[in-house]
Structure 1
């Protein structure tokens, strides 16, 4: 056999070899110990008992807890939430029964190392089932796969404590801030979980606040923003506490951020304050159709801390900074069920008795189901005498915007055309008199 001096190996390899040697000695000791074999037998018995209970009673309990599909409410949702953890029943029951067996073996033999290892293995199986079967969110599944399961493997092997101690003993720092690697790892894990919880909580709060129809749209949007700021602010403070960072050490960083806001980030700060003003005053909110001085026009579909998102009728999204709503002229058509007035121009021939035209057109346009009678019904007015005919225009009120999916004016023009044709009123077209020199006559074209 070849022999080599382990002193020449790196410290990390030496540590692994020491653990391997300890594991070999422990395994040989268990193989030759009657107490270890009895504990192994208890492990098998605990697993069989857990399998029997999980197969016989758990389905019945699940049937009792699971509410009907049409059932709603908090209690029904809570019952459904509990039932999604039933795939863990086998591993958790085995863990419970093994714990009972461990107390028995320790009282009889004074030791229970084998059964304690088995209990940790069952807990690892429960964690594996949780990540594989129950967790559906992609982020949480990734976190469980690369954080929870490796930590559980170290726990089963009894290496979790030494690894934590090594990470806690290793410190890193940046200026006045110093923290251990354990704090960094804990902060990364806690930060990922808190960010996910914050995002989930924000979505839930937005859904709940959005259903409060007794509040004005601007008030609802402001409440959503306030809830979002509160949730992520609380998450940040909690994360700093978990990492063990004193918030007073962040004073220099806060001063640097203040200087940045005064120079490079002043536009962002201006847009944020403008967004708060818009939400407080309610001059423009989600659902309104607006047109800005720069020509941007569309329905506000979302208002963020920095900008408002306008959706045009051809499906494009326009990002407009909140500051533009404060510093420029904005036309708000208030497309949330409000009435707007539009005009439809037309002309009739000079041979027409124009005194009859207003009555004919107002009656025809008034029959259209989308034309309102309040605040005013259709109003046909004489506008002038053109080159080819007499110019009229009919004004009408409708709910909404005359664009996109609601094209009101074309239907009004069709009604005008049909009404004029029904009364034999001619719609003129341009006439020109052309003189051809040398021919001595005029051609009327």
Structure 2
């Protein structure tokens, strides 16, 4: 023993203590009575849980099809029914502990049984109830080992050892226990932050009376608030002074400030976009650089456009502020398009506008306001008389909409019905000297 490392000596000491404790339990009548109470408490909990489970399931389960908040809360409570058996055993064991301590003055065995039942409850929670992959991983590698150490009575010793080991980084010092506590608390806090952010974003998105830009701004403000509060709580849990962080943060900020200018500019530009609402999700925009598409997502740094051929274009938010942007969808305004065509020189062109305008007005998407269809004479071409019909529609002439194509079909059919010829190029070829003889 004298030549062994310190960690080996500690482990052997715990083994000896455990062996002495086991011998004391095996030879003590009080210990056997506590074993009996543990078995009785477990059997009673088993009987009660089998009786209560069907009743609770029937009472808590909401009717099919209900989606109210109360129904969702009842389904959430129903998930915890697997904990009924170990928690009942824990409660009954606690009653047995009070009896043994009053009769024998000790209750070490039954207290150990209580901790074992609590460990079984934690195991059932991770195995049968938690479905989120991150929380299940956290429970599997942190909660269950911690509860196992608690059941064996080693958790307090380990906590004291980790608390006594201090790490110093400059003017910041913290114990290993604070670091472990921070990792656990940080994981839970930021998971809760992500979950609450998703829930709040879904709730805000349902507020149809708010403008899309206002909804996006509310979502971003909520996200910043949630994760800001989570960060402050984490610093408080770890016991790190925010004054110390201010010094370190100032030094890092000076070093990174020049490299993060563009990111800061894009972030501020994104906030301005959301505040002004000149472009928001669902708008079809075209930038000076030629990029065009529908805004499908506005993020802190950039905006994503989706083209009609399925490509995604990531545009820095700064480009929407510093360059010219054409918004085809702002405020629900209509868009004007034109469809060019030609007729033969043999046509009475005075009849063409009325025929074409009447035909185009029959299209279900062509609007009467701000202006009805308007057929204009554009010029006299090489092969025919050039016209164009202007029309107004709601939407973009691309993707699922084929406004110009539909209008040209209507023009073609209307001209054919009125025996108006659509010309094609004609050329006169003169061969000097005539055709050669055979």
1:385 paired with 2:380, answer: yes
Looking at structure 1, the residues matched to 45 and 340 of structure 2 have their Cα atoms a distance apart, in angstroms, of 83
Report the counterpart of residue 376 of structure 1 in structure 2. 371
The structural deviation recorded for 1:437 is 4.5
- The runs of 5 or more residues in structure 1 that have no matched partner are 1-5
- 1:146 equivalent to 2:157? Answer no
Match for 2:170 among 169, 175, 182? 175
Q: 2:158 aligned with 1:163, yes or no? A: yes
Q: SS of 1:384's equivalent?
A: strand
**What is the CA distance between 1:257 and its match in structure 2?**
4.1
Label 1:174 to 1:67 Cα distance change in 2 as closer, same or farther (>3 A). Answer: same
2:42 is the alignment partner of 1:47 = yes
Residue in 2 that maps onto 1:229: 224
1:82-101 matches, cutoff 5 A: 82-101=77-96
* Matched position secondary structure for 2:387: strand
> Hey, what's the Cα distance between the residues in 2 that align with 1:63 and 1:315?
49
What displacement does 1:336 show?
A: 7.0
Q: Deviations over 1:38-57 (max 9, x none)?
A: 11111111111111111112
CA contact (8 A) 1:335 1:400 kept: no
Contact 1:289 / 1:332 at 8 angstroms: preserved in 2?
Answer: yes
Q: Give the counterpart of 1:197 among 183, 192, 202.
A: 192
- Superposed CA offset, 1:326-348 (max 9, x none): 00000001177431111111111
CA deviation map 1:180-213 (0-9, x unaligned): 0000000111111111111111111111111111
Q: CA deviation at 1:398?
A: 1.0
Partner of 1:305: 300
Distance 1:147 1:437, change over 3 A: farther
- 1:264 CA drift (Å): 0.6
Residue of structure 2 in register with 1:346 after alignment: 341
Q: Of residues 386, 399, 420 in structure 2, which corresponds to 1:425? A: 420
Q: Does 1:270 align with 2:298?
A: no
Q: What is the TM-score when the length of structure 2 is the normalising length?
A: 0.97
Q: What is the SS of the residue equivalent to 1:63?
A: helix
| CA drift at 1:425 | 0.9
**Matching of residue 130 in structure 1 with residue 125 in structure 2:** yes
* Equivalent-residue separation in structure 2 for 1:9 and 1:434 (angstroms): 112
Asked if 1 retains the 8 angstrom alpha-carbon contact of 2:339 and 2:390, the reply is: yes
1:344 touches 1:393 (CA, 8 Å); kept in 2?
yes
* 1:56 and 2:55 matched: no
Secondary structure of the corresponding residue to residue 67 of structure 1: coil
What does residue range 101-140 of structure 1 map to in structure 2 within 5 Å? 101-140=96-135
1:213 aligned partner: 208
CA distance in 2, matches of 1:407, 1:34: 91
Which of 61, 72, 78 is the aligned partner of 1:77? 72
Q: What secondary structure does 2:115 align onto?
A: helix
**Comparing 84-93 and 336-345, the one that deviates more:** 336-345
SS at match of 1:77: helix
SS in 1 for 2:335: strand
The unaligned stretches of length 5 or more in structure 2 are none
How many residues are treated as equivalent by the alignment? Answer: 436
Structure 2: distance between partners of 1:88 and 1:180:
34
Distance 2:195 2:47 in 1: 38
> Is the 8 Å Cα contact of residues 287 and 336 (structure 1) preserved in structure 2?
no
Q: 1:177 to 1:295 in 2, by over 3 A?
A: same
Report the Cα distance in structure 2 between the residues aligned to 1:7 and 1:418, rounded to whole angstroms.
106
Instruction: Say if 1:288 and 1:336, in contact at 8 Å, map to a contact too.
Output: no
Is this contact kept in 2: 1:261–1:269, CA < 8 A? no
- Where does 1:228-307 land on structure 2 (aligned, <5 Å)? 228-260=223-255, 262-307=257-302
User: What value does the CA root-mean-square deviation take over the aligned residues?
Assistant: 1.3
Separation in 1, partners of 2:370, 2:358: 17
- Superposition deviation, residue 227 in structure 1: 0.5
Q: Partner residue of 1:3?
A: none
CA distance in 1, matches of 2:312, 2:250: 37
* Shift in CA distance, 421/198, structure 1 to aligned 2, threshold 3 Å: same
Question: Which of 301, 306, 316 matches 1:321?
Answer: 316
Asked if the contact 1:335–1:401 (Cα under 8 Å) also holds between the matched residues in 2, the reply is: no
- Counterpart in the other structure of 2:8: 13
**Deviation at residue 440 of structure 1 after TM alignment:** 6.5
Q: 1:312: how far off? A: 1.0
TM-score normalised by length of structure 1: 0.96
SS of 2:315's equivalent?
strand
Runs (4+) off by over 3 Å: 335-338, 435-441
Contact 2:278 2:330 in 1 (8 A): no
Contact 1:361/1:394 (<8 A) preserved: yes
Matched position secondary structure for 2:429: strand
1:438 CA displacement: 4.5
